[in-house]
Amino acid sequence: MEGKSLKVGICGGTFDPIHMGHLAITELARCELNLDKVLFIPSGMPPHKDLNTVTSPIHRLNMVRCAVSGNPFFEAVDLEVERNGYTYTVDTLNELHKMYPEDTDFYYIIGADVVMDLLTWKRTEEVFALTKFIAVMRAGYQDKAFIEQIKVLRQKFDIELIPFEAPLIEISSTFIRERISKNQSVKYLVSDCVDAYIKENNLYR
């Protein structure tokens, strides 16, 4: 419909490797919130990670590319991988605003636990002005600190933060890496193409 703003979801992270939990929960959020597309943005040099333990950005980007290739609403974006130095969300959001029409609404998809850390992000208030947030939580999640934090963020910063209930999918990249290091199967934990890429490039062994 003419005049309709574009609704773009953002799913960022180390993705070391990207797994089926990332994909399933993001697809649920996309459908529930009627997002037009979701950008998967693997971090380049995440400031909160020990870079000696993180797989190279190009490998992580390639795994994201193959993982999302079967979904026309998903897109892998190399903004942070191509950027020199540490990668911060505020810089990525500013770049995205230059790339998309002025009336585009961005929705950053985060876990409920990340809500508690939002005020530690670089240039927090600028981030809040550049994106809305979708906070993914398990059904029935009623943590008092989480609910209070949302109230504080809304009152103090007037941000749009949408709690979103999703099935609990307890898959972690750490668990996958550990299984691979023990030569154990990760079939159905990652997509087939990611599994093949990991084997072809001898990752996590």
pLDDT one-digit tens code per residue, 1-46: 456 899 999 999 999 999 999 999 999 999 999 999 999 999 987 7
Q: If pLDDT is split at 50, 70 and 90, which confidence band does 55 have?
A: very high
Domain residues for the domain of 27 are 7-170
pLDDT at 52 over 70: no
Rounded to two decimals, what is the model's pTM? 0.93
Residue 191: inside a domain, yes or no?
A: no
Residue 179: inside a domain, yes or no?
A: no
Alpha carbon separation from 32 to 12, 18, 45, 104 (Å, rounded) = 19, 22, 32, 18
Residue 72: inside a domain, yes or no?
A: yes
Residue 175: inside a domain, yes or no?
A: no
Residue 178: inside a domain, yes or no?
A: no
pLDDT score at 16: 97
pLDDT score at 118: 95
Residue 203: inside a domain, yes or no?
A: no
Helix (H) or strand (E) holding 162: strand 161-166
Q: What is the pLDDT of residues 100-159, one digit of tens each?
A: 999 999 999 999 999 999 999 999 999 999 999 999 988 777 788 888 999 999 999 999
**CATH code of the domain in which 94 resides:** 3.40.50.620
What counts of helices (H) and strands (E) characterise the chain? 9, 6
Q: What is the pLDDT of residues 36-48, one digit of tens each?
A: 999 999 998 776 6
Question: Total structural domains in the chain?
Answer: 1
Dist. CA 198–CA 60, nearest whole Å: 10
Residue 148: inside a domain, yes or no?
A: yes
pLDDT score at 142: 77
Could you give the maximum distance between any two Cα atoms of the chain, in Å?
54
